[in-house]
Amino acid sequence: MELIFQNVWLVPFFPFLASILLGLGLFFFPRSIKKFRRICSFLSITFLSIGMLLSFYFFWQQITGSPIHRYLWSWIVYKNIILEIGYLLDPLTSIMLVLVTTVAVMVMIYSDNYMFYDEGYIKFFCYLSLFTASMLGLILSPNLLQVYVFWELVGMCSYLLIGFWFTRPSAANACQKAFVTNRIGDFGLLLGILGFYWITGSFDFQQLSKRFFELLNSNQINLIFSTCCALFLFLGPVAKSAQFPLHIWLPDAMEGPTPISALIHAATMVAAGIFLVARMFPLFQMLPFVMIIISWIGAITALLGATIALAQKDLKKGLAYSTMSQLGYMMLALGIGSYKAGLFHLITHAYSKALLFLGSGSVIHSMEPIVGYHPNKSQNMIFMGGLRQYMPITAISFLFGTLSLCGIPPFACFWSKDEILVNSWLYLPVLGSIAFFTASLTAFYMFRIYFLTFEGDFRGHFYNDSKKLSSISIWGNLTFDEEQYKLEKKPFLYPKEASNIMLFPLIILTIPTLFIGFLGIVFQENKMNFDFLSYCLTLSLNSFNYINSENFLEFLLNSLPSIIIAFFGILIVFYLYGPTNNLYLKKNNQKIVKNRSNIDVIFFNFFSFIYNWSYYRGYIDGFYDFVFVKSLRFLVRIISFMDRWIIDGIINGIGIFSFFGGETLKYLEGGRRGFD
């Protein structure tokens, strides 16, 4: 048994080996290997599946009472400095291993068909395997130094995959934006790691937390300096998990292939920031000010992401801002000390969001032959609608993911989100109010996405003729002149359901989306282990005490506020997009506004403000562009002008003055010696 646990490193090793083999094949046999693309994908999926099975085994051993396993090897030894590498297997690690491997396997199976006709098919699987291996290595890391190495590998892989279609200028700009934004957070993370090493003399999670606790109790530590180090450390997860104000890279990352969007938003890059905060939770909890900052950053991120998602027309960007909002919920939970709820929501959200993104990929895949092979067309929900009758399996799975994300019981996210809402309200009513309001917005924008995409009439045939559109809603909905449509109706292409290979992951991910949330109600007591080594959930089969009917009824009654708020958001979106829709803007919308009552004008202006706020991304991108791009360019021009005309001018002026002075003086002296 002990020998098996000594081989935990095989979990990230198998996908890393697949990446190496594919990379070497592309390097030495670039033409021949393209004939065996199916074999290459099978190799990647098989190797990762082995890692997934090992992850399930280690997870089972943890919940059956197996002790925590920690193995270290000396890496660098210099005088009194010893840097070690190894791995740590505890309940938190085992949960994350299962999460990453299961989602990644589904994404790889899906990608086999989605990317089959792409020229970079094998390169895609090479990057995908390396991306997964990097995340698994980060999860198993026992110290901050090893975390930082894999942290940078995850960032590098995200750069490669977001810019996978680098011939598109938008994709090239998106990967650069993600890279630069994350470098800001990574620099802060490095400063925080070095700061805590200077304080405690260790990178190891166990030793670092233990020594910091001892120094704090004995008043041998500067509280201001340690707080600054913790905030610098937190800056890394802020960028990685797209928290305000370093969230701007996340929607642009949708320029990458849809399977990558699913993996980034569900189980790898954005999950890395939440995981690191959870791993460093015992240290952060010793610094109350840092916990307050974490909670407020999470609340602001959740609200901001929800408001920006309200009027997005791009299907994937709407889901991207949804991810940003849900990550805010997780960070809020960690900031208020609700460790269990934050990690539980990370798990439930991962499966739901992977289902939604793969469903959106199925929609985009079916729309591309109709509207064109460009994101501005195939991802625009204005040109969708009515897809449920053409793609029923995709529509049903997407609806399940939508219901889960909205917090509707008995779907997965209900159990975790409800716990976050209750805990945030008990911690601070202001944070609770923000969380509850965001929950209502979540129901609004998610069902808006569903209605625009799958309900109503199919609008894909009108994408290139704006004259056929009779009215446009400020939220992106469309209606048509039905009589003109009937007169001009011709045989058109219609969407069709995805292949069985792409549908298989959707069906499989529907299962955890439906049932994994029930893990949250079978624990009557689920306390935290405050041991510095394994500051994570205590998982034990002995704790599976099922709640009796009376407690369950009381639980449902306490959950009514969150359910009512979610249904309130759904009713509003049904009003805006249902038969009673009266918020359309005609071409002569100014005349309509003038003829309305004062209340209607106020109502119209209010929704116009929300639309503009959402459409322009809260004006944050424009603000950053003005402050950091245009202002910097203006400053550079001033410096260039000073360098060219003032500094160089002075130097050149002295040279010119010397030259003309010499030319003038040489005529006053002939160089001959005079006679007395």
| Domain end point (choices 516, 540, 561) | 561
Q: Which residues pair with 84 in a beta bridge?
A: 74
- Say which residues have a Cβ less than 8 Å from residue 650's Cβ, sequence separation at least 6: none
DSSP H helices in 310-428: 315-335, 339-371, 375-378, 392-406, 412-427
Q: Tokens 């954005």 sit at which residue?
A: 270
Q: How far apart are CA 103 and CA 351, in angstroms?
A: 7
- In this prediction, residues 594-609 reach a mean pLDDT of 57
Q: Is residue 609 part of a domain?
A: no
- Which residue type, as a one-letter code, is found at position 551? N
Both 170 and 317 in a single domain? Answer: yes
pLDDT in tens, 132-179: 999 999 999 999 999 999 999 999 999 999 999 888 888 999 999 999
pLDDT above 90 covers a percentage of the chain that reads 43
Residues 540 and 631 in one domain: no
On whether residue 532 sits in a domain, the answer given is yes
376/120: higher pLDDT: 120
- State the average pLDDT for the chain: 82
Chain mean position to CA 296: 19
Answer whether residue 523 shows pLDDT above 90.
no
Among 524, 540, 561, the domain-final residue is: 561
Domain carrying residue 537: 2-458+494-561
Q: What per-residue confidence (pLDDT) applies to 667?
A: 72
Angle between helices 10-28 and 91-114 (to 10 degrees): 30
Give the pLDDT of residue 673.
59
Same domain, 623 and 557: no
Q: Within 10 Å of residue 25's Cβ, how many Cβ atoms? A: 19
Q: Would you state the pLDDT for residue 377?
A: 72
| Same-domain check for residues 554 and 635 | no
How far CA 377 is from CA of 228, 254, 314, 493, in Å, comes to: 46, 14, 9, 15
The tens digit of pLDDT for each residue in 381-404 reads 888 888 888 899 999 999 999 999
Amino acid, res. 473: S
The reply to whether 273 falls in a domain is yes
- Residue 464 or residue 541, greater confidence: 464
Residues 441 and 510 in one domain: yes
pLDDT tier, 461 (very low <50, low <70, confident <90, very high otherwise): low
Poorest-confidence range of 142-156, 240-254, 364-378, 495-509?
A: 364-378
Task: Read off the amino acid at residue 251.
Answer: P
Question: How far from 656 is each of 361, 401, 489, 568, 640, CA to CA, in Å?
Answer: 67, 75, 79, 79, 21
Let me know if residue 482 belongs to a domain. no
Q: How confident is the model at residue 521 (pLDDT cuts 50, 70, 90)?
A: low
- pLDDT above 70 covers a percentage of the chain that reads 83
In this prediction, residue 585 has a pLDDT band, given cuts at 50, 70 and 90, of very low
Q: Which of 252, 176, 170 is nearest to 621 (CA)?
A: 252
Tens digit of pLDDT for each residue in 307-346? 999 888 889 999 999 999 999 999 999 999 888 889 999 9
Model confidence over 279-302: pLDDT tens digits?
999 999 999 999 999 999 999 999
Question: Confidence class of residue 483 from pLDDT cuts 50, 70 and 90?
Answer: very low
The answer on 648 and 542 residing in a single domain is: no
Query: Rounded to the nearest 5°, which phi and psi values hold at 523?
Result: -95, 110
Q: Smallest Cα–Cα separation from 581: which of 427, 442, 456, 433?
A: 456
Burial class (CB in 10 A: 0-12, 13-18, 19+), 604: middle
Amino acid in position 140 = L
Q: Is the pLDDT of residue 203 over 70?
A: yes
CA distances from 369 to 63, 257, 360, 391, 495 (A): 48, 17, 15, 15, 8
In a domain, 341, yes or no: yes
Give CA–CA dist 606/426, Å, rounded: 32
Do 541 and 429 sit in the same domain of this protein? yes
Task: Give the pair of three-digit tokens for residue 4.
Answer: 């098996």
Q: What does the alpha-carbon distance between residue 581 and residue 565 come to, in Å, rounded to a whole number?
A: 21
Q: Is 78 exposed, middle or buried (0-12, 13-18, 19+ CB in 10 A)?
A: exposed
User: 659 and 553 share a domain?
Assistant: no
Token pair of 416, please? 């975790």
Beta strand pairing status for 69-78 and 81-89? antiparallel
Torsion of CA 189, 193, 195, 201, to 10 degrees: 180
Residues 557 and 624 grouped into a single domain = no
Residue 532 has pLDDT above 50, yes or no: no
Cα-only R_g, the chain: 29
- Phi then psi for 314, rounded to 5 degrees? -80, 125
Mean pLDDT of the region 251-278: 89
Task: Give the pair of three-digit tokens for residue 212.
Answer: 């910091």
Residue 580 is predicted with a pLDDT of: 46
Task: Tell whether 551 and 625 lie within a shared domain.
Answer: no
Distance CA 115, CA 128 (A): 12
Q: Which of 79-83, 301-305, 353-357, 530-534 has the lowest mean pLDDT?
A: 530-534
Sheet holding 469-473, edge to edge: 478-480, 469-473, 584-585
Residue 164, both tokens: 């996978």
* DSSP codes joined into one string, 506-556: HHHHHHHHHHGGGGGTS-S---B---SS--SB---GGG--PPPHHHHHHHH
Specify the number of domains making up the chain.
2
Residue 196 has pLDDT above 90, yes or no: yes
pTM exceeds 0.75, yes or no: yes
Q: What is the pLDDT of residue 557?
A: 72
Task: Indicate whether 199 belongs to any domain.
Answer: yes
Residue with tokens 């990453």: 100
Among 10-24, 343-357, 457-471, 627-641, which is the least confidently predicted range?
457-471
Q: Which of 69-83, 471-485, 510-524 has the lowest mean pLDDT?
A: 471-485
Q: Which range (154-158, 244-248, 329-333, 453-457) has the least confidence?
A: 453-457
Mean pLDDT of 566-572: 88
180 falls within a domain: yes
Beta carbons within 8 Å of 365's beta carbon, 6+ residues apart: 114, 258, 498, 502
Torsion of CA 466, 470, 471, 472, to 10 degrees: -20
| pLDDT on residue 431 | 94
Give the burial string for 246-270 (b: 16+ CB within 10 Å, else e).
bbbbbbbbbbbbbbbbbbbbbbbbb
Q: What is the DSSP letter of 447?
A: H
Give the mean pLDDT of 564-584: 72
pLDDT exceeds 80 at position 512? yes
Residue 73 has pLDDT above 50, yes or no: yes
Same domain? For 390 and 305 the reply is yes
Tokens matching residue 608: 């116009």
Predicted confidence at residue 527, as pLDDT, reads 38
Nearest to 613 by CA among 372, 433, 376, 445: 445
d(CA 382, CA 227): 48
Closest by CA position to 65, among listed 544, 539, 527: 539
Question: Which two tokens mark 276?
Answer: 């690191």
Assess whether 556 and 625 both reside in one domain. Answer: no
Question: Quick check: 481 pLDDT over 60?
Answer: no
Q: What is the mean pLDDT of residues 412-425?
A: 90
Place of tokens 């994570």: 536
Q: In which element (H, E) is residue 73 found? A: strand 69-78
Q: Quickly state the pLDDT bin for 351 (edges 50, 70, 90).
A: very high
Q: What is the pLDDT of residue 604?
A: 59
3-state helix, strand, coil in the chain (%, to 5): 75, 5, 20
What does the pLDDT read at residue 579?
A: 46
Question: What pLDDT is stored for residue 555 in this prediction?
Answer: 65
The model's confidence at residue 597, banded by pLDDT at 50, 70 and 90, is: very low
Instruction: Classify residue 148: in a domain, yes or no.
Output: yes
